[in-house]
Structure 1
């Protein structure tokens, strides 16, 4: 408990000077998503549900309609990443900034208990949407939902597909 208090005190000391600084015309945001959930639907119609965690980034310029983002997330069943997605957002600086994006995702399956995981890196499209709520000049709360569709066999053009739906809630910081 004493270590937790010390850690929180250090974090407050780091965040306080950042909250007073002037916002930049360009912004790189990094978000930690400790709270997430996933639903994986395989080609046979079976669903698997569980918890997930992730790390995301976004880059935007003031008065720009587009921003670039990406993420990596993992759970006990799989790891998925989107190195880059393009997002449409509100160009004005507002406290609440919704966005909608499109990207290409990579998926690596860890396999189920008792079975060997497939050694295939899968590729598929991603549709994401979310909202950032500014808490100060540097901190923001972020909520994001994603839908991804991957090949079940490893070939990106295979008709046997699996769908991954995820939702995340996290805290971010503008760097």
Structure 2
């Protein structure tokens, strides 16, 4: 009888922490950022400014330092996307979660009179940084800034470059 009591207390000790553990984080976050602005600088140094909106996503595992993300953003004149970027963030669940990332970007101009429109698809690099503020288990506020550098010509390794700097504010939710 004494052995049975010891065995039951050991099993109860193993099961109790599992019952008290918090549910795992939801790993896929989707952010809708209707408030955004950009500055496009062409190879001649001329600036173009405008408003833009973005839909972004991020996937992370619990207590991981690296995560994967991406976005699609559009304005009246162009659409740009980063299908995948690698981000570094502090591990673990946090109320405020900053991150830095890098990835490859694509740019498509909408208007035919736009000089960049003659090159249907431009490839470039992106650096991004942002911060998420948790509002609860499923909602968070997001602020992100991006710097993208595209070739002004058809060759992605051309010395003639144009840059796109943008910032976004949005609301995200975890799936």
Paired residues, number: 154
Whether contact under 8 Å (1:111, 1:118) holds in the other structure is no
Q: Which runs of 5+ in 2 are unaligned?
A: 1-21
| Per-residue Cα deviation, 1:2-54 (whole angstroms, up to 9, x for no partner) | xxxxxxxxxxxxxxxxxxxx753451000001000000000011000000001
Compared CA separation, residues 91 and 121, structure 1 to 2 (3 A): same
Which TM-score applies when normalising by structure 2?
Answer: 0.83
SS in 2 for 1:120: coil
Counterpart in the other structure of 1:124? 124
- 1:102 deviates by 0.5
Which TM-score applies when normalising by structure 1?
Answer: 0.83
Whether contact under 8 Å (1:23, 1:138) holds in the other structure is no
Moved over 6 A (4+): none
**Segment drifting more, 58-67 vs 23-32:** 23-32
Computed over aligned residues only, the root mean square deviation of the Cα atoms, in angstroms, reads 1.7
Compared CA separation, residues 173 and 41, structure 1 to 2 (3 A): same
Counterpart in the other structure of 2:34? 34
- 1:118 deviates by 1.9
- 1:119 deviates by 4.1
CA–CA separation in structure 2 for the residues paired with 1:23 and 1:38: 39
Counterpart in the other structure of 2:44? 44
Counterpart in the other structure of 2:15? none
| Per-residue Cα deviation, 1:67-111 (whole angstroms, up to 9, x for no partner) | 000000000111000000000001021100000000000000123
CA–CA separation in structure 1 for the residues paired with 2:115 and 2:45: 19
